[in-house]
Structure 1
Amino acid sequence: MFPTSWSSYVVTPRKSLVVLATAVAALAVTVTGPALAAGSLPAVTARAETVALHDDEAGGDADADDPAIWRNAADPDRSLVVATAKQGGLRVYDLDAREVQSIPAPAGPGADDAPGRFNNVDLVHSKRLGDLAVTTDRGNDRLRIYRIDRDRAGGPLADVTDRTAPAVFSASQGEINEQRTAYGLATWTDPATGRSFALVSQRERTRLALLELTARADGSVGYRLVRTLDLPKSFRLPNGTSWSPCGEPGELPQVEGMVVDPANGMLYAGQEDVGIWRLKADLTGTPKLIDKVREYGVPGTYDEATEECAAGADPGFGGTKLTADVEGLTLVKEKDGDGLLLASSQGDNTFAAYDREISDANEYEGGFRVAAASATLDGSEECDGAAALNEPLGRRYPHGLLVVQDGHDAPGDGDRPSTNFKFVDLGKVTDTIDD
């Protein structure tokens, strides 16, 4: 459960590979305790879905990934969902899941350089900076920052990124092109100081960076590095052996899904092939692994021919609620300070819910699936990103909204890769978990 040495934390992420189906089946047999099999978890259905995006040349290399929900306090019916489409940039949707704005990702600086690729997005609500949408541009290793104005001519988002903003992790364009760049993202405003921050993970590495968002005299918004922290890449198992998740040579177990609880300044970070970490959002102190994936501790051997990891025998050290990858993390906040942490269990197409209260050790509260509502409105599979907002959003979602990415939109368009976002009544989710 713990790293070989806590000295591996330094104060200054690879998509997981497919594990052979037979190994996954063997892992499922080992699940014990209160966890339910994925198929027996209760289901909720979406109320609406966005138009499918296609990750091919004809579709502009657009691939749905991560959403965020902006509430229009003056008119909640006119609230928005801001979502990343990777090389396809950003999409902005209304509450009917209709597209109201499309923002292309910027090109790379040269013809042979990596193009822009928007990976994760989160929002900032700040007296100093206003309402902002912040996204990681994985292609260029930068943050891109947009001011939100629902009534702005030309679309509600306007680019206010400081043009001199530096690369987050890379020292040169050559390093940027290697794409060990800005990946996962969570924003946080410190209530004590009013300062706003972005927490950013590094692709194919275990590093997290804390960046302070800063206002410029020309009205743009930049950022400066505060500190970094490295999560473990290897772990000491109860039997005394050391384990690292299997991956391509040179790749480390990355983090993508992240969210900060504003009530206590705690960051939850999903290390995809390991589990969910809880740590201070200022990246100080000692992180705690609050739950592990089922595959935790399972040895694997990478096969270059198949580009897959073949799993060995399960030693039984994993968790019972999450199947790798751990992906989108989001909070359901209650007015009394209670609430839930929701996590996408991508490997079995489910979601796990944990108590938001640290005093309850983030106890597991239940799980659910987003299932098909009809032949034309399917559920969510292989979910990457998720966002919840437990506030009334007008007549459509008076009990709040959950938006989840669907990695395999159906019925699809022939052999074209199809992804989109599902809009779910959050009240149905909380009722399901409470039952």
Structure 2
Amino acid sequence: MAKPRSARPALGRLALVTALAALTATVPLGSGAQAATAPPAVLPHAETPALHDDEAGGNADADDPAIWRNAADPDRSLVIATAKQGGLRVYDLGAREVQSLPAPAAPGQGDAPGRFNNVDLVRGMRVGTGRADLAVTSDRGTDRLRVYRIDRDRAGGPLTDVTDPSAPPVFSSSQQEISEQRTAYGLATWKDPSTGRSYAIVSRRERTRLALVELTAKPDGTVGYRQIRTLDLPDRFTLPNGASWSPCAEPGELPQVEGMVVDPANGTLYAGQEDVGIWRLRADLTGPTQLVDKVREYGVPGTYDKATEKCVAGADPGYGGTHLTADVEGLTLLGQDGGDGYLLASSQGDHTFAAYDRERSEGNAYEGGFRVAAASGAPDGSEECDGAAVLNEPLGDAYPHGLLVVQDGHDAPGDPERPSTDFKFVDAGDVLDAVGD
């Protein structure tokens, strides 16, 4: 299959095979440790200012990024990222903050405030009297979607909130149910080329449910949404030995989905069920589902210990995959609109990224992996990565081969008494060199 290339020499075949062998080495169950020989490393070129999930830091916690390309002036493109209760952050290509938008306040005493979980973009949607690019976020705190219009040259900042004030909860039927926080969680956007309509696929926290919602433009320039259908992924699985297995979790919690991405070339949705693996299905949530790859921990029995609030794992029966260590987190597509390229997945448990063939006809075969590592005099790497976004279109002088942005769950060196998170910026050409020729 033809793969997108960077302008620089790729890894030799022997080096790639060696890297693949290293990546598939056994990782101790649940340890989060790297394999003895790590996969190829790529180095970040820049990092955003640290965020702190405490009162002094505005309870900001880096989670999920999206990359907006300024077609008129690629050097002035933007990275839009969620900071959970800290709202949204907007960065330039130098990883400098250019705008900060707060999450909504709690609607009432005892209610949860807004908490932005995932973000994705919609290009060229008709809004009011014209077309606009939009950033759409899942607000886990209020069980709603929030929508922001993107205007790079706007004096007050590039993002403007255009959410319909009457937008309903995505999953909940009441504020009481919202307070239970089984709310909108993961998110991916999708435009149906046959109709031109724009959608978001939203997952539900602590449940396996996915919802397809259509984004709707209002006459006053705001954007709302309406639910089209839902789909529930499995929460229990029959193992080859005939046993029934479900990932260990706190009582009442089901294996949730967060990381998702839609391939615009064929309308395929890839959804990461964190403790299970990566699913492939239609973006309109009709038709069959297929598990593309499993986490290493798939099939491992576990017992929840209420005292420690942790799961105690039993013997591994050997039914899991070899490329992903739970949780499966950020999913993103590295490639062209024609469908060539890779599906990248954050393997959070061992701090690596796995790359799969983007073509369904090839069975989404595993193609390689990499890690975002630190180097002397450069930003630190990425650990326990949540969200990721990649764009391999030229982004001016800074990133002529495109850009990968990944969340870093443990920004270093930092203050040990005040853990911090941020986002790392990586040259997409380096990623292509690391995973293929």
Task: Output the TM-score relative to the length of structure 2.
Answer: 0.91
| Partner residue in 2 for 1:392 | 394
For residue 28 of structure 2, the aligned residue among 25, 35, 43 is: 25
Following superposition, the deviation at residue 337 of structure 1 comes to: 2.9
For structure 1, the 5+ residue unaligned runs are 1-22, 29-35
Following TM superposition, the consecutive aligned residue runs of length 4 or more in structure 1 with deviations greater than 3 angstroms are 36-39
Task: Give per-residue Cα distances to partners, 1:111-144, cap 9 Å, x unaligned.
Answer: 2110100000000002424200000000000000
Instruction: Assess if the C-alpha contact under 8 Å between 1:38 and 1:348 holds in 2.
Output: no
Aligned partners of 2:378, 2:168: CA distance in 1, in Å?
Answer: 44
Aligned partners of 1:399, 1:38: CA distance in 2, in Å?
Answer: 31
2:110 aligned with 1:112, yes or no?
yes
The one-letter code of the counterpart of 2:93 is L
For residue 309 of structure 1, the aligned residue among 308, 311, 326 is: 311
2:248 aligned with 1:246, yes or no?
yes
Q: How does 1:124-273 map to 2 (within 5 A)?
A: 124-129=122-127, 130-273=132-275
Secondary structure at 1:428 match in 2: helix
| Partner residue in 2 for 1:430 | 432
Report the more deviating stretch, 108-117 or 265-274: 108-117
Aligned partners of 1:314, 1:142: CA distance in 2, in Å?
Answer: 39
Instruction: Assess if the C-alpha contact under 8 Å between 1:296 and 1:319 holds in 2.
Output: yes
Report the more deviating stretch, 348-357 or 122-131: 122-131
| Partner residue in 2 for 1:31 | none
Instruction: Assess if the C-alpha contact under 8 Å between 2:125 and 2:134 holds in 1.
Output: no
Task: Give per-residue Cα distances to partners, 1:392-423, cap 9 Å, x unaligned.
Answer: 00000000000000000000123102000000
Q: How many percent of aligned residue pairs carry the same amino acid?
A: 78
Aligned partners of 1:26, 1:228: CA distance in 2, in Å?
Answer: 33
Following superposition, the deviation at residue 350 of structure 1 comes to: 0.2
| Partner residue in 1 for 2:40 | 42
Instruction: Assess if the C-alpha contact under 8 Å between 1:45 and 1:424 holds in 2.
Output: yes
Secondary structure at 1:25 match in 2: coil
Instruction: Assess if the C-alpha contact under 8 Å between 1:254 and 1:272 holds in 2.
Output: yes
Aligned partners of 1:351, 1:414: CA distance in 2, in Å?
Answer: 26
The one-letter code of the counterpart of 1:179 is Q
Secondary structure at 2:126 match in 1: coil
Instruction: Assess if the C-alpha contact under 8 Å between 2:45 and 2:426 holds in 1.
Output: yes
2:280 aligned with 1:278, yes or no?
yes
Aligned partners of 2:82, 2:150: CA distance in 1, in Å?
Answer: 15
Instruction: Assess if the C-alpha contact under 8 Å between 1:56 and 1:417 holds in 2.
Output: no
Aligned partners of 1:138, 1:38: CA distance in 2, in Å?
Answer: 38
Task: Give per-residue Cα distances to partners, 1:10-46, cap 9 Å, x unaligned.
Answer: xxxxxxxxxxxxx972579xxxxxxx93742010000
Aligned partners of 1:427, 1:218: CA distance in 2, in Å?
Answer: 42
Instruction: Assess if the C-alpha contact under 8 Å between 2:30 and 2:349 holds in 1.
Output: no
Instruction: Assess if the C-alpha contact under 8 Å between 1:126 and 1:196 holds in 2.
Output: no
| Partner residue in 2 for 1:13 | none
For structure 2, the 5+ residue unaligned runs are 1-25
Secondary structure at 1:40 match in 2: coil
Secondary structure at 1:298 match in 2: coil
Aligned partners of 1:417, 1:201: CA distance in 2, in Å?
Answer: 28
The one-letter code of the counterpart of 1:380 is S
Aligned partners of 1:53, 1:255: CA distance in 2, in Å?
Answer: 25
Following superposition, the deviation at residue 373 of structure 1 comes to: 2.4
Aligned partners of 2:230, 2:114: CA distance in 1, in Å?
Answer: 24
Instruction: Assess if the C-alpha contact under 8 Å between 2:44 and 2:378 holds in 1.
Output: no
Change in Cα spacing, 1:147 to 1:250, as seen in structure 2 (3 Å) is same
Following superposition, the deviation at residue 286 of structure 1 comes to: 1.1
Instruction: Assess if the C-alpha contact under 8 Å between 1:27 and 1:294 holds in 2.
Output: no
Change in Cα spacing, 1:390 to 1:260, as seen in structure 2 (3 Å) is same
Task: Give per-residue Cα distances to partners, 1:319-365, cap 9 Å, x unaligned.
Answer: 00000000000001236531000000000000000000000000100
Task: Report how many aligned residue pairs link the two structures.
Answer: 406
Task: Output the TM-score relative to the length of structure 1.
Answer: 0.91
CA RMSD of aligned residues (A): 1.4
The one-letter code of the counterpart of 1:296 is Y
Change in Cα spacing, 1:113 to 1:365, as seen in structure 2 (3 Å) is same
For residue 356 of structure 2, the aligned residue among 329, 354, 358 is: 354
Aligned partners of 1:337, 1:236: CA distance in 2, in Å?
Answer: 33
2:94 aligned with 1:96, yes or no?
yes
Q: How does 1:290-309 map to 2 (within 5 A)?
A: 290-309=292-311
Following superposition, the deviation at residue 374 of structure 1 comes to: 2.8
Change in Cα spacing, 1:203 to 1:41, as seen in structure 2 (3 Å) is same
2:73 aligned with 1:71, yes or no?
no
For residue 337 of structure 1, the aligned residue among 327, 336, 339 is: 339
| Partner residue in 1 for 2:404 | 402
The one-letter code of the counterpart of 2:247 is P
Change in Cα spacing, 1:211 to 1:26, as seen in structure 2 (3 Å) is closer
The one-letter code of the counterpart of 2:75 is D
The one-letter code of the counterpart of 1:52 is A
Aligned partners of 1:24, 1:46: CA distance in 2, in Å?
Answer: 25
Report the more deviating stretch, 128-137 or 312-321: 128-137
